[in-house]
Amino acid sequence: MKKLLKILLLLVLVLVLALGGLVGWLSAAEYNPASIEAIGPLSDAASEKLPQGAKLEILSWNIGYAGLGAGSDFVLDGGENMRAADKATVQKYLAGVSGTVGGGYDLVLLQEVDTDSSRTYGIDEAAALASGDAAFALNYSCPYVPNPNTYFIDPFGKVNSGLLTCSGYETVRAERRALPCPFTWPLRIVNLKRCLLVSYLPVEGSEKQLVLVNLHLEAYDDGEGKIAQTKQLMDFLEEEYEKGNYVIAGGDFNQVFPGALEAYPNTHPENWIPGVLEESSLPEGFSFAYDLSVPSCRLLNQPYDPGDTVNTQHYVIDGLIVSPNVTVDAVETLDLGFADSDHNPVHLSVTLG
């Protein structure tokens, strides 16, 4: 009995030391970006300046790291899996994403783009999707992310992922602006470090710029993180507009837009509860641009089944914000049947005033 007890104590000690070593290693390797960082171009192929009064076609899309297409579920949404089944599946989804974003858009805002991650088998998706003047900003970088349910069994592993903005017009600079992180140590070390990827496009014959903001706000916090990040976003948009610039922000807000809960009631709150965006949160004169006719996101508690509307959930959490000097001509969520991502892309047509 004493021998068995010693063995059990030794096993417990080994596990404690291993866990402590893992936490210590991850703490030392924690991604700690500065509040504002200059971003060098991932590609620099656009030479034409944005003309005054330009009409622009914009696409915003959370591509789910090309690992969350129609055949996927996800552990944090009530599913079972942490990653795509194999590299071929990622390549299939990525090819579908590439075909969509290559559809002649002037500006493309992509979220959840992996560069070197275990979950996507090391594929550099940012390099594969970059076009024109492109900028990439990390918002998730960790050498090892455990499975939240099983810890060491079927982990995420290494994750390097972020935001990718592609412009067919000249971009004079891009920067990464850190957003508040709602998590404390030790959860903080394996969580995303959210940010805004801001691109500045000069307008020909003018001192104005188009300030283009790519964003992906907090998902799995208690709600306070989304609120703090949204406030910082709105303050920044107002500040840039007051400089005389055109301002467009788009991405995955992880918050439903006004009217979305009426169109798509949250029937599975046990799996995930999004935040709620209010018109009152916008700076004066700014407006949301979104489409309620097609859901922009699905719950990943199971693979996609278009005939099953009972056991899963849809949301409208993807859209854009425009300043008063930008006219929205049309906005449409493209119904791609969640073939290549758990999100559908949002297409916005605007005219600069």
The per-residue pLDDT for 348 is: 98
Residues 6+ apart with CB under 8 A from 248: 58, 107, 210, 211, 212, 213, 320, 321, 322, 323, 326, 348, 350
Beta bridge mates, 193: none
The per-residue pLDDT for 314 is: 97
Q: Distance between CA atoms of 212 and 215, rounded to whole angstroms?
A: 10
The per-residue pLDDT for 19 is: 75
Read off the tokens for 152.
């060491």
> Residue 297, class by beta-carbon neighbours within 10 Å (0-12 exposed, 13-18 middle, 19+ buried)?
buried
pLDDT (tens, 9 = 90+) of the chain, 353 residues, equals 677 777 777 777 777 777 788 888 888 989 999 999 999 999 999 999 999 999 999 999 999 999 999 999 998 898 988 788 899 999 999 999 999 999 999 999 999 999 999 999 999 999 999 999 999 999 999 999 988 776 667 788 899 999 999 999 999 999 999 999 999 999 899 999 999 999 999 999 999 999 999 999 999 999 899 999 999 999 999 999 999 999 999 999 999 999 999 999 999 999 999 999 999 999 999 999 999 999 999 999 999 999 998 999 999 999 999 999 999 999 999 999 999 999 999 999 999 99
Domain ranges of the chain: 31-352
The per-residue pLDDT for 29 is: 85
The per-residue pLDDT for 151 is: 65
Our measurement of the distance from residue 249's CA atom to the centroid of its chain's CA atoms, rounded to an integer in Å, reads: 13
The per-residue pLDDT for 13 is: 72
- Name which CATH class applies to 31-352: alpha beta
Pairing of the two strands 326-333 and 107-114: unpaired
Query: Phi and psi of 19, rounded to 5°?
Result: -65, -45
The per-residue pLDDT for 174 is: 98
The per-residue pLDDT for 6 is: 73
